Amino acid sequence: MLDDFMVRAALAGIGVAFAAAPLGCFVVWRRMAYFGDATAHAAILGVALSLAFSMSIFVGTMTVALLMALVVNVLSGQGYAMDTLLGVLAHSALAFGLVAVSFISGVRIDLMAYLFGDILAVSRLDLSIIWGGAALVVALIGWRWSALLTSTLNKDLAYASGIKPKREQLVLTVALAITVAVAIKVVGVLLIAAMLIIPAAAARPLSRTPEGMAIAAGLIGILSAIIGLRAAYVLDTPAGPSIVCVAAITFVATSILKGLGHQR
Amino acid sequence: MSLIQVEDLTVRYGASTALSGVSLHVEPGEIVTIVGPNGSGKTSLLRAIIGAVKPVKGRVVQESGVKIGYVPQNLHIDETLPITVSRFLKLPSNVEAADISYALTRAGVPDLAKAQLSQLSGGQFQRVLLARAIIGNPDLLLLDEATQGLDQRGSASFYQQIETVRQNTGCAILMISHELHVVMSASDRVICLNGHVCCEGTPAVVASAPEYRALFGTGTGGALALYRHKHDHSHDHGDHNHDHTEAAK
């Protein structure tokens, strides 16, 4: 069954949607939408470094994404607004990454493949990395769920319950770094943020509790992956963007549903 | 022994000093109110007690096993986060449904368990925060301007609710308030803060202290009048009469 590239692609998409759902909810709730972009841009530097030192792309992107997460965690709350900080880090990492790529001689790399991903070329090894990473992220978020939720609602309420908001933020940024690193092959740098935010945003009108929203986001993400891949196969469109398009259409649909609900 | 003891606390944010050498204590069952002008370090004091800011000097000692309930100032719930009142009361650790409805009843909002947090009115929201704070049967309630944004009727009835909670549970209360007339009638002890402790004592003592007069001026004479109201119940103060009846409801 795993010999079929479409099956591997679907499993890869489902894996990413699975990890992105709970994480994407926190990204939406904490207004960190730009964080996904920033980590993803930084991952380009990771790709360049992996090629320069001939190590696996996954290790390179993971290292840079984790470094990025740590730097953001340390610098946040030191007089810079989060969006400024992320802007500085994202674009400088991207610029350094592109410059670094140009130094690598003899290797012609297809940057487009990293910008948009290539879900149809997912190997068995990629698949195990994606599912391993996704399981790790979901376990991490599940373990810290209540503490993360409390610190998202209000930092002082968290302190009063003996929770350290800064530590929870680190858990979140590390989980985000892992997700970006495993998802880069599937949807690429440009569309990772979309997989984080769009299913979560589409799930919002359908939900009454945080847990409900995370589950709904997961289902929307998984459906988008399956339907998007199918559409790409039938219509001969690029796979990653097709998945995101389905998610976006779902977002529009749930927004309209919500609008109708309000009119009643 | 005191429930909590704050010893020689100094808190700085960068170069500016929010609190210097503040000491205070809260005994079981008493209501202590902190008053002071804006920027006098009231919120910093409560945040230091819950561990949200690290003091550069001094310490906060809690009697072992003391449970603290905290009602923050002005909590904004983002509409992107869907959460029901009962789910909110289960954060960060799960509690029985019966305890939730009991806490909501004691806070005066028994019917809100299934409501969305972001759709509550200001008064309902403050009561839900109060319910969350009392859910673990705390020995000490910390209230940081819990009636901010409520109108006079709303805040008077909120303080009434707090008084009821104290009568039922016997917990001590340490609160920050701007509403001097309520403070003066409801507190056992008042601490006047302005970076340091200016003066403290019973409401009558503080109200007549020159340090307090210097901070709040003579315009607060009404507060003292109201405080006396409570004891002599002579309703001949005209203007303040209405305030008093609101507060006493």
Interface of A with B in 15-54 (CB under 8 A): 28-29, 31
Contact A150 B72 (CB under 8 A): no
Contact B92 A207 (CB under 8 A): no
- pLDDT at B16 (0 to 100): 86
In a domain, B219, yes or no: yes
Would you state the structure tokens that stand for residue A113, as one six-digit string? 């493949």
In a domain, B127, yes or no: no
- pLDDT at A182 (0 to 100): 85
In a domain, B42, yes or no: yes
Residue A157 sits at the chain B interface (C-beta within 8 Å):
yes
Q: State how far the Cα of B231 lies from the Cα of A56, in Å rounded to an integer.
A: 80
- pLDDT at B243 (0 to 100): 41
**Cα-Cα-Cα-Cα dihedral of A127, A128, A130, A132, to 10°?**
160
Residue A58: pLDDT band by 50, 70, 90 thresholds? confident
Count other C-beta atoms under 10 Å from residue A111's C-beta: 14
Residue B82 sits at the chain A interface (C-beta within 8 Å):
yes
Nearest CA to CA, how far is A89 from chain B (Å)?
A: 25
- More reliable by pLDDT, A247 or B121: A247
- Each residue of B198-207: pLDDT tens digit? 888 888 888 7
Residues spanned by the domain of B8: 4-28+38-67+178-248
User: Does A158 score more than 80 pLDDT?
Assistant: yes
The SS3 assignment for A13 reads helix
Looking at chain B, the whole-number percentage of residues with pLDDT higher than 90 is: 19
Q: State how far the Cα of B85 lies from the Cα of B104, in Å rounded to an integer.
A: 9
- Each residue of A213-258: pLDDT tens digit? 999 999 999 999 999 999 999 999 988 889 999 999 999 999 998 8
- More reliable by pLDDT, B51 or A2: B51
Query: Looking at the domain covering A5-192, what would its CATH class be?
Result: mainly alpha
Q: Which uninterrupted H or E stretch holds A236?
A: none
CA-CA-CA-CA torsion sign (A108, A114, A118, A123): positive
Contact A156 B47 (CB under 8 A): yes
- Give me the residue label for tokens 């589950």: A215
Cα end-to-end distance, chain B, whole Å: 34
Determine the average pLDDT of the residues in B216-230: 49
Q: Which of A155, A207, A209 sits opposite B52 (nearest CB)?
A: A155
Long-range contacts of B230-239 (CB under 8 A, 24+ apart): B230/B185
Would you state the structure tokens that stand for residue A116, as one six-digit string? 């948009």
- Complex prediction ipTM: 0.83
Residue B77 sits at the chain A interface (C-beta within 8 Å):
yes
Contact B81 A153 (CB under 8 A): yes
CB A207 within 8 A of CB B81: no
For residue B99, what are the contacts with CB-CB under 8 A and spacing of at least 6? Answer: B135
Q: Which of A152, A157, A209 sits opposite B72 (nearest CB)?
A: A157
Q: Where are the domains of chain A?
A: 5-192
Residue A77 sits at the chain B interface (C-beta within 8 Å):
no
Nearest Cα neighbor of B119 from B162, B81, B72, B71 is: B81
Determine the average pLDDT of the residues in B151-177: 84
Q: Which of A152, A160, A207 sits opposite B68 (nearest CB)?
A: A160
Residue B81: pLDDT band by 50, 70, 90 thresholds? very high
CB B103 within 8 A of CB B132: yes
Q: State how far the Cα of A68 lies from the Cα of A65, in Å rounded to an integer.
A: 5
Q: Which of B50, B80, B83 sits opposite A159 (nearest CB)?
A: B50
Within its chain, how far is the Cα of B55 from the centroid? 21
- pLDDT at A249 (0 to 100): 97
CA-CA-CA-CA torsion sign (A55, A37, A80, B40): negative
The SS3 assignment for B220 reads helix
Q: State how far the Cα of A90 lies from the Cα of A222, in Å rounded to an integer.
A: 28
Contact A150 B91 (CB under 8 A): yes
Nearest CA to CA, how far is A36 from chain B (Å)?
A: 18
Q: State how far the Cα of B171 lies from the Cα of B3, in Å rounded to an integer.
A: 10
DSSP string for B134-193: HTT--SEEEEESTTTT--HHHHHHHHHHHHHHHHHH--EEEEE-S-HHHHHHH-SEEEEE
Residue A143 sits at the chain B interface (C-beta within 8 Å):
no
Residue B15 sits at the chain A interface (C-beta within 8 Å):
no
Within its chain, how far is the Cα of B96 from the centroid? 26
The SS3 assignment for A260 reads helix
Contact residues on chain B for A27, CB-CB shorter than 8 A: none
Instruction: Count structural domains, chain B.
Output: 1
In a domain, B117, yes or no: no
- Each residue of A189-212: pLDDT tens digit? 777 888 999 999 999 999 999 999
- Each residue of A87-137: pLDDT tens digit? 888 888 888 888 887 777 666 667 777 777 888 888 898 899 999 999 999
